[in-house]
Amino acid sequence: MSQATRSACKVNTTCPYCGVGCGVTATMADGVLSAVEGDRDHPANFGRLCVKGSALHETLGHHDRLTTPWVDGQAVDWNVALTTLAERLQATRAAYGAESVAAYLSGQLLTEDYYVANKLFKGFLGTPHLDTNSRLCMASAVAAYKRSLGADAVPCNYEDLEEAELVVLVGSNLAWNHPVLYQRLKVAKTRNPLMRVVVIDPRVTDSCEIADLYLGIAPGSDAVLFNGLLAWMAENNKLDQLYLDRHTESFDEALLAASHHDINDVAAMCDIDPERLETFYYWFASQLHVVTLYSQGVNQSTSGTDKCNAIINCHLAGGKIGLPGAGPFSITGQPNAMGGREVGGLANQLAAHMDYHTSGALDRVTHFWATETLTPELPQAPGYKAIELFDAVERGEIKALWIMATNPAVSLPDAVRVRRALEKCPLVIVSECASHTDLLAYADIILPATGWSEKDGTVTNSERRISRQRGLLPAPGQARHDWWIICETAKRLGFHEAFDYTHPHEIFDEHARLSGFENDGESKRLFDISGLVGLGREGYDALAPIQWPVTCSAPHGTARLFEDGEFATHNGRAKFIAVTPRLPEQRLSDAYPLRLNTGRIRDQWHTMTRTARAPRLMNHRYEPFIELHPNDAANYGIGDQQLAVLSAPSGAYRGRVRISNAQRRGEVFIPMHWSDAFSKSARSGAMLKAITDPISGQPEAKHGAVALAPLKTAWEATLLIAQPLEDNSQQEAPPWCKSDYWARVPMQGCQRWQLADAKPVHNWLALLAKWLPDEASLWCEDSGNGRLRAAAIVQGKLRWWLMVGPPRELPGLAWLEARFNETTISDKHRRRLLAGGEYGAADTGPVVCSCHQVGQAAIVNAIRAGDTSVEALGARLACGTQCGSCLPELKSLIEEERSHARAKQASYTEVA
């Protein structure tokens, strides 16, 4: 190959994971995306990436991708798929009316995809039933901003976090879920020693690493706490009376509702120490530059909207908004949850930040989309929000449902019922990239979509910043862009002219025009990007990150909103909301006595369809788990690392127990990531009731009620098996999936299966012969204690390796993983195969630093050898020196070792 074709080029794009929206610089060489690094000029991250972002290039490749459309289980070409889709949609509408058709979208679509989907369903199919997974995520934050500030508008930006004197994290594990922002905050705190950080979360998280004060509140008690703060500010003369008079309304009502309890009562209701509470109140009230950053611990609640408003109330009361370093900052989860809201992709919105009841909106949008002559006309009122939508599917009212870029069979609460509803629905259409998701089993029509690195368009991050995602690689097989799929369907439905786009820049242009259309005077909307109209293909391709609004008076975008105290309400005043705190609706009982908290882990993204493709991201937490307080573990007679089962009326969850002082007593935490594609029974969505906030419709995903019991096991085993050569999308589940417990862990060149069952196995070798085509070549058995190790080598290649025994007896698996990637196993390695490592090689333990694959055992040994700072550990082992996501965990390991050493010292002193 010539030198010229080898030359690499760098292209800037945006990370497709969290709402931080980091700029990514991709290195392209010979048509291959060979490396990624943080874009140094992107204002969200200035060159940083977290562990997920920096593994993006490891998640590519065509394996396990959908590459062809399917109709009724048959692979078909696009023409057949689209024609069938259009015919069936048309037939459904003709037989049952426009409102029998619905769409369920995702904050992971690009703005252009979202725009055409919204336009097709609401504008041309005339159905209001189009909602999105942002309902599970941002709906409460949106509703609260609208009630109080008059628009769904995040006032702050990332620099405000750096300029604040006090940052309050409420229900946000920023260190794991918005890691680059967390790193920025951490650096700012080092630069400004006066800056304080408060963490409010029932769980001690890695974000507590930088906390000056931690309030481990009772789940669901946030509104009590912030109401208490409002009352305390009033009592202690900490209100900004001038701001209240000039820029707000309804303060008295809000204060009255907040003044029912004194600080001791509030502390008791939140189950925290009153002195710590008062410290927080004092800090908040005495600083002007306060940012309260909140996320799912607040939003995912049946009173989530009120909780957000209780926070906003305190900011308004102190005039802590519209200033550098101040404001109520709802941090966005998905990469484009904000973009979806901009186009109007929620069931209660119409389009472009216009609601159905917004004065003149229906006429304006009808006019803009030129839908005057259509029957039916635009829907006249809001449609079903996510939970209601699936209820309507179950009732048989919705007959055709198109789901794009989300996996409701896993991520919706009461997911078992969702599956029943999908089974009953006559037409389920799924647009998806991955070939193995739980949802695909329910689809009549499957449409293969392009994914990150292939798609072209825009996303908006948490600070209202619009950035380009750029298409770098060709689509695998017949996969197509989501906007193309939607527009081709629209054309086949007869709407050729309105959907005749040739490139996403044309869609973006229309979206920008609509945002500025009749946007003045009485009908002024805050969301206005008319300054980006007419970019053309070149301007669009070169578009640099920019924060909306972008208008002729703010052509370079707007960093901060409401600086003049003028809000987007009808009279320009921000409205205080009177909040009456409510407890979680899912109540504990004798049968279900434990509070279930669900959330995210550092290295995985949602249902793992993308992050599990990078084996190194599986090493931090490789199995579904249940985090449990030591006293609860003792009460239930469950040891650390033992398997256990949680049950709820709607389902069960099996995972490995992690005993942890980070949990409060009576509360358990499980990750939201595992689906049936990765484990036997570990879907958090199956454990939650589908109860929602009456205003936002957001479900209560943080407050389930469950029972706990040990999982009975006669044996546990770990099986490593070479990757099947063929794509296994159509294969049946392997026989060991009949075991009571399994979890699948993709590794480099092999798959790991963790297995357990209650029935004893009397002859393992006979069972293995049934399970696996290749016979065992080596084994050693200790039947006395039920242990076995075995392996199969075929033509010099390692085919599988098995250990019967608890996983804590496993050797470090990196050595074995390397053997699966060898064409021929050497005699020397063959002799060590059952041991699973070189003679005397130390086990490195579970991986803590994913970037450099450094294990816990190695870190603990280094600490014991005298490396008592993260810098020293970094110098010796390189851990924590790349993305920095593991630094909190390194610190807690150092801390743990210190307290072990202290405890040891104390016991020696006692003896002496």
Ligand X SMILES: Nc1nc2c(c(=O)[nH]1)N[C@H]1C(S)=C(S)[C@@H](COP(=O)(O)OP(=O)(O)OC[C@H]3O[C@@H](n4cnc5c(=O)[nH]c(N)nc54)[C@H](O)[C@@H]3O)O[C@H]1N2
Q: CB-side exposure of 564: number of CA atoms within 13 Å?
A: 5
Which residue, 179 or 318, is less far from ligand SF4 as judged by CB?
179
Helix (H) or strand (E) holding 102: strand 101-105
Among 69, 179, 383, 836, binds ligand SF4 (CB under 6 A): 179
258 contacts Mo ion (rule: CB under 5 A): no
What tokens does 121 get? 């369903």
Name the segment binding Mo ion (CB under 5 A); options: 135-143, 340-348, 796-804, 861-869. 135-143
By CB under 5 A, how many residues form the interface with Mo ion? 2
- The number of residues making up the chain comes to 912
22 contacts ligand SF4 (rule: CB under 6 A): yes
Residue nearest to ligand SF4 (CB): 53
Give the C-alpha distances (Å, rounded to integers) separating 274 from 228, 279, 331. Answer: 11, 9, 28
Q: Which does 600 bind (CB under 5 to 8 A by kind): ligand SF4, Mo ion, ligand X, none?
A: ligand X
Residue nearest to Mo ion (CB): 333
Paired sense of beta strands 715-722 and 8-14, if any: unpaired
Instruction: List the end-to-end C-alpha distance of the chain, in Å, as a whole number.
Output: 75
Which 8-state DSSP code applies to residue 150?
Answer: S
By CB under 6 A, how many residues form the interface with ligand X? 58
616 contacts ligand SF4 (rule: CB under 6 A): no
Write out the E strands in 313-353: 327-330, 349-351
- At closest approach, how far in Å is the CB of 353 from ligand X? 21
Paired sense of beta strands 741-747 and 750-757, if any: antiparallel
* CA atoms of 47 and 37, how far apart (whole Å): 7
21 contacts ligand SF4 (rule: CB under 6 A): yes
Among 14, 84, 172, 754, binds ligand X (CB under 6 A): 172
Q: Which does 53 bind (CB under 5 to 8 A by kind): Mo ion, ligand SF4, ligand X, none?
A: ligand SF4
- At closest approach, how far in Å is the CB of 38 from ligand SF4? 7
451 contacts ligand SF4 (rule: CB under 6 A): no
Burial class (CB in 10 A: 0-12, 13-18, 19+), 548: buried
- At closest approach, how far in Å is the CB of 461 from ligand SF4? 8
Q: Which does 392 bind (CB under 5 to 8 A by kind): ligand X, Mo ion, ligand SF4, none?
A: none
Q: Which does 681 bind (CB under 5 to 8 A by kind): Mo ion, ligand SF4, ligand X, none?
A: none
Among 36, 161, 180, 225, binds ligand SF4 (CB under 6 A): 180
CA 91 to chain centre: 36
By CB under 6 A, how many residues form the interface with ligand SF4? 14
Which residue, 43 or 333, is less far from ligand X as judged by CB?
333
Q: Which does 345 bind (CB under 5 to 8 A by kind): ligand X, ligand SF4, Mo ion, none?
A: none
Among 334, 336, 462, 519, binds ligand X (CB under 6 A): 334
| Helix, strand, coil distribution of the chain in percent, nearest 5 | 35, 20, 45
8 A C-beta contact, residue 665 and residue 684: no
DSSP 804-864: ES-GGGPPPTHHHHHHHT-SS--HHHHHHTTTTSSTTPPP--SEEETTTTEEHHHHHHHHH
* CA atoms of 388 and 121, how far apart (whole Å): 17
166 contacts ligand SF4 (rule: CB under 6 A): no
Paired sense of beta strands 741-747 and 445-448, if any: unpaired
8 A C-beta contact, residue 111 and residue 458: yes
49 contacts ligand SF4 (rule: CB under 6 A): yes
Which residue, 354 or 473, is less far from ligand X as judged by CB?
473
Which residue, 45 or 68, is less far from ligand SF4 as judged by CB?
45
> What is the biggest distance separating any 2 CA atoms in the chain, rounded to whole angstroms?
93
Among 26, 42, 53, 84, binds ligand SF4 (CB under 6 A): 53
328 contacts ligand X (rule: CB under 6 A): no
Mask: binding to ligand X, 651-690, rule CB under 6 A, as x and -? ---------------------x-----------xx--x--
Q: Dihedral sign for Cα 203, 756, 840, 837, please.
A: negative
What is the footprint of Mo ion within residues 324-343 (CB under 5 A)?
A: 333
136 contacts ligand X (rule: CB under 6 A): yes
680 contacts ligand SF4 (rule: CB under 6 A): no
602 contacts ligand X (rule: CB under 6 A): yes
Contact set with Mo ion (CB under 5 A): 137, 333
Contact set with ligand SF4 (CB under 6 A): 15, 17-18, 20-22, 45, 49-50, 52-53, 178-180
